Structure 1
Amino acid sequence: MKKLYIFVLVLLSWNLQGQGLPGLGAGTTPNNKPILHGKSWVAITGKPLGASAGATIFNQGGNAVDAACAMIAATSTMWDVLSWGGETQALIYNPHTKKVIAINALGYAPTGATVDFYKSQGMDYPPQYGPLAATTPGTPGGIMTMLAEYGTMSLEQILKPSMDLAKGYPLEAQTANAMEAQKARIKQWPYSKKIFLPHLGEEREAPEVGEIFVQEDLYETLSKLVEAEKNALAEGKSRKEAIYAAYDRFYKGDIAKEIVRGTREQGGLFTESDLANWKVKIEEPLHVNYKGIDVYKLQEWTQGPALLQSLNILENFDLKSMGYNSANYIHTLYQAMSLAFADRDFYYGDPAFVDSPMEGLLSKEYAKERAKLIKEINDPKIGPGDPYPFQGGTNPYSDILNQNKEALASLPADQLNSSLDPAFIEAFQSGTTSVETADAEGWVVSVTPSGGWIPAVVAGNTGVGLSQRMQSFVLDENLNPYNLPEPGKRPRVTLTPSLALKDGKPMLAFAVQGGDSQDQNLLQLFLNMVEFGMDVQEATEAANINSYQMQSSFGNHEVRPGAIVLRKDTPAWVNKELVDRGYQIELWNKTSGPLNAIWFDWKHGSFWGGSSDYGDDYGIAW
């Protein structure tokens, strides 16, 4: 009898933990991937070779910023759903100042990129692909600024792993097959075709899986950056000045000239002034406090504040008592996100050009009013609120807001499309990668670099793939009057690294790839740990929900009200209750998204790294 009793208790413990709840012997149930325990450093990113690049830099004495820069460079070289002409967004915790720093290395709209221009081309939105989808390159400037300001190593040192990769590395399946799948589009652009399709005329024109993939033009471009740094050092310049000399060669020198020439040859709008005038911005991040934890996100040129708004709304509910992924919890989470993302879709934009009402949007009082709108069933017609009274102002777009509200209210239910076709999902979850690093000195870095994914237009003979981020603008002010394209303006993007501090010390660094689903998955990872007691690896692997009741930031910016993705092991009674509450459910094997996170164990002075089992994401710690 005693053995049977113990067996039942073990089964109960296993079942509770399998549902993401703390059970008997919490933390002992094996995850699909192990926790990364480290005392000196941890490096996690989208590909194993990218993590190896970070480990190499750490083993050479670099800090977390040095390692993050090397990892961004490596993953850009590997086309891990980004390339060198993309964009880099980062949050950095500086242990000396005890402050969180925001890095804005998002490119901007080039000369001539206006609403009227795109409409004159017969477009309802800027294109998803091609030279007219490109913002100016941001990733090189982001890497060099982070390294110069907060790193310790030379540019040559942190570029060595990526230069080795550019000389040739065995191509993994995801990237090789993406090249083959997109070859019809790639053939439109001569410099892309030269790189991605080395077997033209054969049945498979892209590289095979495992084939050594060589990028000679990119290697030459990176060599020029190293050469500029070396020349500056030889002239007696400091480490920092030498890195910025390489920065100037990219944005003002011969590299810039070739990027502009090659882009314009293929129909793009770049000018040399566009590249020369672009600058990386070092900014103050936004943050809210959730139950004693300060959560930091980038400003409203990203979707990051939507996570902060969601936390403010959810603070008005007892989530823990609902139970992890119960029907009531899922419904409350879905509604809170719908309210926050409705505000994102209407109000967020580049603060250098527009004055978004962030004080009101992030106020606790506004969140309480939004929380009152949550009903027992899904509201497919949730729209943006009016945050201006909560910051003592008057909404300059109240007419548009009211018109949209009236139009949505009068829309018949059968015209609210909640189906999830593959093309919509692919656009909605367009990829990026993430980079998370931390070291024993106290530096912490969370990055979501992106842009220039396959199929990318390559800018002339530079090997630099251009961003497709212009598609995140809209051309109709009724959708978002704050996010209309203008030369020099940054589009509102999905890219959204995260940091959380408790008692003034880092608690969690976390990021994920996946387009508009990013802050959904990040919100749930955070709540998994804070509300439901999961460790960092359990939280990255746990079943998440994905909502599509928000404007896609890609393609035609469509919405799928009530559409929800759940993991296949969600209990049938939960599914039934959600259907009764007005949701259209789709079941997937994995829903966690490729989450990467570092949790700080201050009691024992160590790091716990988590990397979900969703994709190729990988980490190394020591």
Structure 2
Amino acid sequence: MARQQAVHELEQGDIDLPETGRPVVRSTKGVISSGHYLTSMAGMRMLLNGGNAFDAIAAAGFAAAVIEPIASYSLAAEGVFMLYDSASEEMLSLSGQGVAPGKATADFYKSQGLDRIPTGPGDKAHLSFTVPGIVEAFISLLERYGSMPIDQVLAPAIDYAENGIPHYEYMLERLKSPSTPQQFDNYPPGGWDVFFDNKQVPQPGAPLVQPGLANTLKAMASAGVSGDRVAGLQAARDVFYKGSVAKTIVDSSAKVGGILSMDDLANYKSQFGEPVSTTFAGHEILGHDSWSQGPMLQQTLNILENFDLKSMGHNSPQYIHTVSEALKLVFGDREAFYADPDFAEVPIDGLLSKEYAAERAQMLDPEGAYPEQRGPGDPWKYSNGRGAVPVAASPAPTINGTSGNGASDSSSHEGTTHVSVLDDQGNMVCGTISGGAFAKSVFFPELGCALSTRIEMFNCEEGHPNVVEPGKRPRTTLINYLARKDGQPVMTVGCPGGDNQAQANVQLVLNVLVFGMDPQQAVEAPRFASQSVVNSFYPHTYLPGRLDLEPGIPESTADALRAMGHDIDRAANCGLGATVSARDPRTGYLSTGGDPRRACYAIGL
């Protein structure tokens, strides 16, 4: 009788709630995950029409510029990609990070009375305009690995921009930020007429139509050459980087005092490159070189190999302490050594050596938190190159946790999204795309978007690896990763969040490889992030000793961390929009998930 009752109750509902708020999305044909359901659908339309993962990520990325303009990024901004092409078996990094304009030198900014490159909120944002990189990257990706013509790839984005999408809560919350209207007023007319309703925040579900952006997208699509896919892609690139769109970008920049030129755009090229890697838990973890903060993850994993993380327990006080202290050590190296290797000698072999990691691991106090930003180690000892450890001045703490100039509003730092696509041909690609935040940049209605301000991540210190130089990539926060096991690609990993990106990605990898979580469990698990480093974004806030915890980490854990010397603060999120996508090497089956911290959505074919 009891057994019959149990069966009867199961017909009414489950005995237990699922472990995650959303399901793992599984498929045999293809999966996509992104920062918004309409972004994911734009990519899925390519898969449904016979396209591959590269067609899908480009369509989703162009669409995200329409759907997530304040929640993610601008069409005139940047992105970075990790990819595996099954036909060629190439596993590569792709940099769509924009570069400094030809007039952007340390002397130029010093002549303006500046020691760092400013952004908004404020009236000097135009000095941080960066050469747009994302369009060139998408077109290069499509040329090399795609299968669909540019007009077909752009069709969902044009539809969303021209015919409109419903306003949604995540974006509307960011429109409520006081910094956004302030910046629109600093550079009128801004986006008042596009994103607001008589200067009021619209209601959820109200239409959002973007005619300027639609015109920009249509200019590229109409350049397509019938019957010649590659010629159409080249024509679309020329429109954006040499033709009518380029002229609109340069004229818009010039009218507010910006320093972008037609030559800056015409000379820009995205870059395919060999990833850097390390091994951890039986996997090879591959990511971007030192032009990004990407090697932080490999460095941190190398340090953490020296500790028994699993026995500590997931998100226990000892675990959080150990991981965050390892990250502090690596932040010290990031600030001293990371830079565009085309312009600076970076000891990447030393930074990623296991011997160097073992040396650094000995500095980690298992019982006490280091109270400030860590200094760098000496990776040159383990490098085939030659160089010296720079002498860095101690950073000044930010007063009361704010910058004093209104830029403490975190919404200005959340301008990033992530897309991951796996298809049934064996292709895997993920992209972290960003830039052009309304509060930091200038919105140009005629262009339909804001320009990137990513060169704010340079410094003006002569001799420093990351000093601003024309044509150079700033040491970007944008990163993502691929993992392979026994030579086979098995996973993509990415998470937006500025300086929290590397920290969140470390936790995602540990969640999967140490604690055996599935893609959805890995992204839903509560995260933490150290703020004990000078922030990459202007005005470069520094909060020595602070460790942010998400609400899901219990107060008893917070108390134990305080006892170790951590300055604990609660944060709504420590990286948001995370994605783990996996391919089972035994069956070829695909899986992914969607981060509930924002409007992320995963779809299976």
Q: Distance in 2 between matches of 1:568 and 1:269?
A: 43
User: How many pairs are equivalent?
Assistant: 580
- Give 3-state SS (helix, strand or coil) of 1:296's partner: strand
Q: Distance in 2 between matches of 1:73 and 1:321?
A: 44
Aligned pair in 2 of structure 1 residues 568, 250: CA closer, same or farther (>3 Å)?
closer
Q: Which runs of 4+ in 1 moved over 6 A?
A: none
Task: Give 2:330's aligned residue.
Answer: 340
1:378 maps to 2:363: no
| Aligned residue type for 2:464 | P
Q: Distance in 2 between matches of 1:195 and 1:74?
A: 21
| Aligned residue type for 1:43 | I
Q: Distance in 1 between matches of 2:412 and 2:161?
A: 30
Q: Distance in 2 between matches of 1:338 and 1:93?
A: 31
Residues 463-486 of structure 1: CA distance to partner in whole angstroms, max 9, x if unpaired? 242101121112235xx8111111
> By how many angstroms is 1:562 displaced?
1.8
Task: Give 1:560's aligned residue.
Answer: 543
Task: Give 1:143's aligned residue.
Answer: 138
Q: Using structure 2 for the length normalisation, give the TM-score.
A: 0.90
Q: Distance in 2 between matches of 1:150 and 1:518?
A: 27
Q: Using structure 1 for the length normalisation, give the TM-score.
A: 0.88
8 A Cα contact 2:183 2:190, kept in partner: no
Aligned pair in 2 of structure 1 residues 418, 567: CA closer, same or farther (>3 Å)?
farther
8 A Cα contact 2:496 2:575, kept in partner: no
Q: Distance in 1 between matches of 2:412 and 2:448?
A: 27
1:284 maps to 2:274: yes
| Aligned residue type for 1:128 | T
8 A Cα contact 2:549 2:571, kept in partner: yes
Identity, % of aligned pairs?
Answer: 34
Task: Give 2:33's aligned residue.
Answer: 44
> By how many angstroms is 1:126 displaced?
0.8
Task: Give 1:531's aligned residue.
Answer: 514
Q: Distance in 2 between matches of 1:302 and 1:341?
A: 13
| Aligned residue type for 1:520 | Q
Deviates more, 1:182-191 or 1:38-47: 182-191
| Aligned residue type for 1:54 | G
Aligned pair in 2 of structure 1 residues 243, 416: CA closer, same or farther (>3 Å)?
closer
Of 436, 441, 464, the match for 1:452: 436
- Give 3-state SS (helix, strand or coil) of 2:219's partner: helix
- Give 3-state SS (helix, strand or coil) of 2:51's partner: coil
- Give 3-state SS (helix, strand or coil) of 1:44's partner: strand
Q: Distance in 2 between matches of 1:54 and 1:47?
A: 11
- Give 3-state SS (helix, strand or coil) of 2:433's partner: coil
Task: Give 2:10's aligned residue.
Answer: none
Task: Give 1:468's aligned residue.
Answer: 453
Q: Distance in 2 between matches of 1:259 and 1:496?
A: 26
Q: 5+ residue gaps in structure 2?
A: 7-13
Q: Distance in 2 between matches of 1:418 and 1:537?
A: 38
8 A Cα contact 2:72 2:433, kept in partner: no
Q: Distance in 1 between matches of 2:131 and 2:445?
A: 14
| Aligned residue type for 2:28 | K
1:595 maps to 2:578: yes
Of 184, 187, 205, the match for 2:185: 187
- Give 3-state SS (helix, strand or coil) of 1:487's partner: coil
Residues 139-164 of structure 1: CA distance to partner in whole angstroms, max 9, x if unpaired? 11111111111111011111000000
Task: Give 1:313's aligned residue.
Answer: 303
Aligned pair in 2 of structure 1 residues 195, 496: CA closer, same or farther (>3 Å)?
farther
- Give 3-state SS (helix, strand or coil) of 2:416's partner: coil
Task: Give 1:220's aligned residue.
Answer: 215
Structure 1 residues 563-582: aligned runs within 5 Å: 563-582=546-565
Task: Give 1:513's aligned residue.
Answer: 496
Aligned pair in 2 of structure 1 residues 568, 172: CA closer, same or farther (>3 Å)?
closer
Structure 1 residues 173-572: aligned runs within 5 Å: 173-179=169-175, 181=177, 182-190=180-188, 192-193=190-191, 195-196=193-194, 199=197, 202=198, 204=200, 207-230=202-225, 233=226, 238-375=228-365, 376-381=367-372, 382-396=374-388, 398=389, 400-401=390-391, 404=393, 420-421=401-402, 424=408, 426=410, 429-455=413-439, 456-459=441-444, 461-476=446-461, 481-572=464-555
Deviates more, 1:435-444 or 1:244-253: 244-253
Task: Give 1:160's aligned residue.
Answer: 155
8 A Cα contact 1:77 1:162, kept in partner: yes
8 A Cα contact 2:497 2:574, kept in partner: no
Q: Distance in 2 between matches of 1:241 and 1:160?
A: 18
> By how many angstroms is 1:421 displaced?
4.7
| Aligned residue type for 1:134 | F
> By how many angstroms is 1:127 displaced?
1.2
Deviates more, 1:98-107 or 1:117-126: 117-126
- Give 3-state SS (helix, strand or coil) of 1:602's partner: coil
> By how many angstroms is 1:428 displaced?
8.8
- Give 3-state SS (helix, strand or coil) of 2:430's partner: strand
Deviates more, 1:239-248 or 1:115-124: 115-124
Residues 25-66 of structure 1: CA distance to partner in whole angstroms, max 9, x if unpaired? 9x9843111111111000110111101111111111110110
8 A Cα contact 1:262 1:460, kept in partner: no
Task: Give 1:17's aligned residue.
Answer: none
Aligned pair in 2 of structure 1 residues 461, 573: CA closer, same or farther (>3 Å)?
closer
Residues 437-470 of structure 1: CA distance to partner in whole angstroms, max 9, x if unpaired? 0001011011001111224424572324210112
Q: Distance in 1 between matches of 2:370 and 2:412?
A: 21
Residues 563-590 of structure 1: CA distance to partner in whole angstroms, max 9, x if unpaired? 1122334344432321121101123465
| Aligned residue type for 1:445 | V
Q: Distance in 1 between matches of 2:549 and 2:312?
A: 17
Q: Distance in 1 between matches of 2:575 and 2:499?
A: 14
Q: Distance in 2 between matches of 1:173 and 1:221?
A: 26
> By how many angstroms is 1:424 displaced?
4.0
Q: Distance in 1 between matches of 2:173 and 2:356?
A: 47
Aligned pair in 2 of structure 1 residues 183, 309: CA closer, same or farther (>3 Å)?
same
| Aligned residue type for 2:94 | I
| Aligned residue type for 2:208 | F
Q: Distance in 1 between matches of 2:543 and 2:464?
A: 22
> By how many angstroms is 1:196 displaced?
3.2
> By how many angstroms is 1:418 displaced?
9.2
| Aligned residue type for 1:499 | L
Aligned pair in 2 of structure 1 residues 362, 556: CA closer, same or farther (>3 Å)?
same
Aligned pair in 2 of structure 1 residues 576, 177: CA closer, same or farther (>3 Å)?
closer
Deviates more, 1:148-157 or 1:452-461: 452-461
- Give 3-state SS (helix, strand or coil) of 1:434's partner: strand
> By how many angstroms is 1:430 displaced?
3.1
Aligned pair in 2 of structure 1 residues 132, 417: CA closer, same or farther (>3 Å)?
closer
Aligned pair in 2 of structure 1 residues 103, 183: CA closer, same or farther (>3 Å)?
same
Q: Distance in 1 between matches of 2:60 and 2:334?
A: 30
8 A Cα contact 1:195 1:215, kept in partner: no
Task: Give 1:96's aligned residue.
Answer: 87
Of 34, 48, 53, the match for 1:64: 53
Q: Distance in 2 between matches of 1:330 and 1:59?
A: 43
Of 105, 108, 113, the match for 1:114: 105
- Give 3-state SS (helix, strand or coil) of 1:118's partner: helix
Task: Give 1:621's aligned residue.
Answer: 604
| Aligned residue type for 1:615 | R
> By how many angstroms is 1:427 displaced?
7.1
Task: Give 1:55's aligned residue.
Answer: 44
